[in-house]
A = this chain, B = another copy of it.
Amino acid sequence: MSQPGTADAARAMFAGDVASRSLGMELVRSAPGSAVVRMRITPEMVNGHGIAHGGYLFLLADSAFAFACNGHGPATVAAGADITFVASARFGDELVATAAERARYGRNGICDVTIRRDRDVIAEFRGRSRIIERTAP
C-alpha cells in the first residue's frame, strides 16, 4: 500500500515526468531525501564545444534532486540551484547523479547532488527546495 513519505512518491512522480523519461533517465533508487538517477549522453546533448551541454548535466541533477525531495510526500519544487562543472562529459558517457538531502527547515530544504562518470566527479549541484502543498490529512 502506498504511503506519502515513502519512495513511492518519487516513483509516481517519475512515471509522470515526461522531461526526465524522454531523455532516457533511469530512476535507479529513491528514498525520502535521497535518489540515484542514471542518464547516457546522446548526440543531441552535445554543444558547440563538442562536449555535453551543461544544461543537460543540470537537468540530470535537477531530476535527482526532485525525486529526493518529493520522496517525503508533499509536492516540492526547486526554488533555485547552484551547479559547479568539475569535468566535461562526452557523447556516450553514462552519468550517475546521487542526491542527498542536507537540511530541512520549515518548508525549505537543501539537497546536494553529485554527478559522476564511474568514480570521476563531473559536477556538484546544490538545490534549494520549497514545499508548495501539504499532503491531504
Contact = CB atoms under 8 A, between A and B. Distances in A.
A70 B47 CA distance: 13
A124 B128 CA distance: 11
A81 B54 contact: yes
Contact of A105 (B14, B58, B66, B86): B86
Contact of A59 (B22, B58, B81): B58
- Interface residue tally on A, bucketed by range: 35 or more
Contacts of A70: 48
Main SS at interface, chain A: mixed
Interface string A25-61: 0000000000000000001111111101111101110
A65 B108 CA distance: 21
Given A17-B47, A19-B44, A62-B54, A80 B83 contact: yes
21 contacts: A14-B48, A16-B50, A17-B48, A18-B46, A19-B44, A19-B52, A22-B44, A48-B70, A49-B75, A49-B77, A54-B77, A54-B81, A58-B59, A58-B81, A59-B59, A82-B83, A84-B103, A86-B103, A87-B105, A105-B121, A112-B112
